Structure 1
Amino acid sequence: MCEFIGEKIIKLQPSSLQNPELQRLKQMLINWINITLKKEHIIVQSLEEDLFDGLVLHHLLERLSDVKLTVEEIAVTRAAQILKLKVVLEAVNQKLGIQDEASCKWSVKLIQAKDLLATLHLLVAMVKHFQPELELPSDLTVEVVMLEVTKMGIITEKGVECITESSASKADPENNLKEEDPIDELLKMEPQKVETVKKAILHFVNKNVEPLGLQVTEIDKQFADGVILLLLIGQVEGYFIPLYSFSLSPTSSFEMLQNVTLALDLLNSQTMQVPNVDPSGRTSVKRAWGLQPQK
């Protein structure tokens, strides 16, 4: 097990496989590959089972670009498949303008292991680069589980991963540079996606405050007095907020307001700008932490 210590793996949650938008994306990518490789008489039926040996990716890259690779046509053994994938993915990454392969969400190991998440990231990146006019489902996020091998065993952590970007980003990339209210963007999502994000936030909060003997079950209510928010900031940023600087057990609206104001000041000072949150506004607190829709 020693050779695997420090290794981190991200896997799709089984429940995400039932996501209609994910199934739609998979089918669109399969159709795109089959149309692109029609002259080669290559037919893909499964992203997991048909791309792991490098054959499809090899022909796909040559058809979409001017690249000609010197690799064997059919790699039968696992060693040959890994060697072929290495050559193909290096060429793909070069075409995509990727300088640091370590930052990629795909790798030879993952693709050869039939990892669906890595395969999706790779194909979406190729579509975005080679055929950006193809409209893939936007704002697609999936639930994932992150596994890390340590000396004490395997640590698991749930999270959310973005597969495709928002339609607004694709339509107007420059608009991405403009300041937007992330809560407003979040509230445009489907209720199911909002719930997924809420669960991820709750998991993040509890992971950081549990060492203090605290547990959060209702973010909108428990964050209202600013206490847990301040403790969370201290835990995440790695510093201690003196207890005399805020009310640990606030009993009045004034003390709660002071706590929340201090928390927002600390966030702003850490370059985490939150200009649209009013510490005195109940609506702001509910929208920012409870993710309640605007009325």
Structure 2
Amino acid sequence: MSFKHQTNKRRIEPHKNFVDISIKEIWEYRDLFYYLVWRDFVIRYRQTLIGVAWAIFQPLFSTGIFTIVFGNWAKMPSDGLPYPIFTFSAMLPWIFFSTGLYHGTTSLIGNRELIVKVYFPRIIIPGYAIVGNGCNFLISLCFLFVLMAWYGIYPDSRLIFFPFFVLMTLLSVFGVSLWLSALNVRYRDIQNTIPLLTQVCFFMTPVIYPTSIIEEPFRFWMSFNPMTGIIGGFRWSLLGVENVSTISMAISSMVAILLFLSGLVYFYRTEQFFADII
């Protein structure tokens, strides 16, 4: 009895243009993607005392500090909502964005051995780093619904728009991460600027304050920060906040989509050099 050994051959070529991106090729490596997401999640909480409760503790602790400082002492307005839930609802997308941005930016450097030795669509690397943080987001989101019930706040029909703002958050962090992860391969200073960048952006984003206290035209220009409209969308769709600008949400959504598409193009144009210089 004889056995035939069958091998699959793949010709590896750089992508010539944006349209040349192969969704089918990415789908073929979905098992690798699932494994990396699972590995990242397990490693993150291995040998921790409270495990996945850290996903709730981080935004909850920050919310407590901000409530004392800005809610009780500074008397910061909160669009008629209890300040803790006003802030916690914004901390969820913000933490998803900021942590996803850092992990996404440093993901290629952190997986250099895998990139050098094995071929697979490189976009899987920043992708798994961001989706892994999405697991924390979902856990915290469940706690947000508990917190809403505690304060007697229940979503209305606008809840159907909530998945859209979650998608915009994902596109924002993924788009920026595609840009910065590709640049970080060549310029390692990028990863060192991320903590400073996120700290500056935090105070330029309406996490601890409502946009209603910002005067025009500054409020309009804040809309070009994608997280401004996204956080407003979270509060509008979940908590029923009325004084949220639809123009701001529209501008922020368009910026998020533009960041994603431009990041995708830049990433695919530069990925052919990753293995050589990483």
TM-score (norm 2): 0.22
Between Structure 1 and Structure 2, which shows a larger proportion of helix residues? 2
Relative contact order, higher structure (CA 8 A, sep 6+): 2
- State which structure, 1 or 2, has the greater radius of gyration over its C-alpha atoms: 1
Between Structure 1 and Structure 2, which shows a larger proportion of strand residues? 1
